[in-house]
Amino acid sequence: MTLTALQLLAVLLLAVAIGFSVIRLLRGPTTLDRVVAADTLAVITTAGLVGLAAVFDNPVYLDVALVYGTLAFVGTVAIARAIEGNKG
């Protein structure tokens, strides 16, 4: 399927968002900055997988997006609770 100009602009903006988040993920001064960046990156990836479902016209990617969101949420909460427990 071919993308219209507006859809190409949306893909470009998603790429910019992923780039900014990855820079913060690599540079973050504390561990929690990296966790925040990973959390934001997970939301962007979930939305990107839904967009991929539309590009490929294949609804199975919606299930992939849902499972990815679940696992990313569990990972974020687990890491945050572990950091909290270390010092508390």
Q: Interface with other proteins by CB under 8 A: which residues?
A: 4, 6-7, 9-14, 16-21, 23-24, 29-30, 32-33, 35-37, 39-40, 43-44, 46-47, 50-51, 53-54, 59, 62-63, 65-66, 69-70, 73, 76-77, 80-81, 83-84, 86-88
The answer to whether 62 and 53 have CB atoms below 8 angstroms apart is yes
Instruction: Compute the distance between CA of residue 25 and CA of residue 32 in angstroms, rounded to an integer.
Output: 10
CB of 53 to other proteins, least distance (A): 7
Tracing tokens 């539309």 back to the chain, one arrives at 54
User: CB 70 → other proteins: shortest distance, Å?
Assistant: 7
**Alpha carbons 61 and 32: distance in angstroms, whole number:** 30
